[in-house]
Amino acid sequence: MEYRELGKTGLKVSRMGFGGIPIQRTDAEETKKIMEKLAAEGINYIDTARGYTVSEEYLGYGLEGIRDQFVLATKSMARTKEAMAKDVEISLKNLRTDYIDLYQIHNPSMEQLEQVTGPDGALEALMEAKAQGKIGHIGLTAHSTAVFEKALDLDWVETIMFPYNIVENQGEALMKACEEKGIGFIDMKPLAGGAIENPKLALKYVLSNPSVTVAIPGMGSVEELEQNLEVCQNTIKITEEERAEMAAIREKLGNSFCRRCGYCAPCTVGIDITNTFLFAGYLERYDLAEWAKNRYSALKVKASACIGCGKCEERCPYHLPIREMLKKCAKDFGE
């Protein structure tokens, strides 16, 4: 296993980490088995979030007695000081620890970033938690390149998490800048949220980029972990045949894969387009179908409400046929 310094944090992390979304569909016992296997294999980076329902709690159970072998990272969507202070306490309790290595501001928009860093913003709570020794470092996660670019100039940002995979390489230049500035780059969605059907190839692609400090594929079973480990244990050299396969994946997904940049918003009737497509992606993956349906059912405005005005498509930089895609979502989800 290859290890890297996580930017200037001084933390040494394995290049493959563990993404904590899929354990929501398993249970605490399976999570424990995965944690034990991670420890045995020297994979030491764990990512979760306050928003991943039971993920922090399962991890807290699974890490009992071995927590010190890991760099533990979580994140919160809280934007105010008060809400963030509360979330830090909940994370500590859920994760059954008195110290979280990395706490991240989870996916703020440009406007929310202003709020987070302003008076009584969430950053103040993280700074206090850091001074009190409850957390070690502060990072930020983003889906839009605008927020990523802005984050590079914020002196409190020690790590940035951003999607990067075979079909989402819009952040490549910023990743390079990240590396040059000594900011740790955490690659979320290395498998494009499950859209890439060849996980080994997907992982190989991201780990072959030196700007990626750590990639965090989501794993919900020991079998999935074993599959990913095979990639990390071999020399990461991409063959011509694999390059051709990657080009074919890009070709296939390029015109239908939502990068979750959010530029299409706001929808005229209030459809949450990015999350609708995200949940539709998970629906296609058998194992997360129930989770996707639950999440989708919580959306206030369903895909079927689209009136076909086309405003969103004018704003989508990838020229996705959003109206057609929403029709499919409405059919697949049945509403």
Q: What is the contact surface with ligand SF4 in residues (CB under 6 A)?
A: 258-264, 267-269, 271, 273-274, 306-312, 316, 318, 320, 322-323, 326
Minimum CB separation of residue 276 from ligand SF4 in Å reads 9
Structure tokens at 331: 């059919």
Q: Is 119 exposed, middle or buried (0-12, 13-18, 19+ CB in 10 A)?
A: exposed
Which of 18/277 has CB closer to ligand SF4? 277
Minimum CB separation of residue 195 from ligand SF4 in Å reads 12
Minimum CB separation of residue 21 from ligand SF4 in Å reads 19
What does residue 168 show for φ and ψ, rounded to 5 degrees? -120, 85
**Other residues' Cβ atoms within 10 Å of the Cβ of residue 46:** 27
Which of 109/227 has CB closer to ligand SF4? 109
Question: Are 46 and 225 in contact, with CB atoms under 8 Å apart?
Answer: no
Rounded CA-CA distance 46/72 in Å is 5
Which of 23/271 has CB closer to ligand SF4? 271
Which of 95/191 has CB closer to ligand SF4? 191
Which of 157/258 has CB closer to ligand SF4? 258
Cα–Cα distance list, 65 to 8, 52, 74, 189, 312 (Å): 28, 23, 19, 29, 50
Q: Is 37 exposed, middle or buried (0-12, 13-18, 19+ CB in 10 A)?
A: middle
Minimum CB separation of residue 322 from ligand SF4 in Å reads 5
Minimum CB separation of residue 213 from ligand SF4 in Å reads 25
Q: What is residue 26's three-state secondary structure?
A: coil
